[in-house]
Amino acid sequence: MANDHVTDAKNDLRTSIARLKEAEAEVTRRRQAVPPPTFKEDGLLLMEAAAIRAELTAHELLLNHMEAIAVQVDPPTAESGKALADAIRALDEMKQATTALTRFLDLCATLTDKMDEHRREIDRRTNP
């Protein structure tokens, strides 16, 4: 039963890693688009790429840790189960941090858009 949870967690991580690699490749494609992104868009893409890379690295490290635990202790023991539970809790904390970072990046994009609107309004009023 415990092994099923471990296998499920590893499979979830592998799926997440694949999804994150696809997202990272998509950001790279968008940065290399023709016409190229504006300075502002490129900055936002760089922040998005950094967030994706951080989450991807965390997932890869956790998967490696889980696999190392499985290799070190066969059959599983209470100690290895606790270590695995700690690793899963760490993943949940990383997911929460990534969600907060994503919200922050969304707010940065919204703020940048509002600043652009304000600049255009000033330009419109000063240069009719």
Reported as a single tens digit per residue, the pLDDT across 7-36 is 888 888 899 899 999 999 999 999 898 888
pLDDT of residue 39: 80
Mean pLDDT over 98-108 rounds to 79
pLDDT at 50 > cutoff 80: yes
pLDDT of residue 24: 92
CB-based contact 44:111 (threshold 8 Å): no
Question: Which residue, among 30, 100, 91, has the nearest Cα to 56 in the 3D structure?
Answer: 91
Mean pLDDT over 93-111 rounds to 79
User: Which CA distances in Å does 121 have to 27, 70, 107?
Assistant: 31, 61, 21
Identify the weakest region by mean pLDDT among 57-61, 63-67, 74-78.
74-78
Residue of 70 and 1 predicted with greater confidence:
70
pLDDT of residue 15: 92
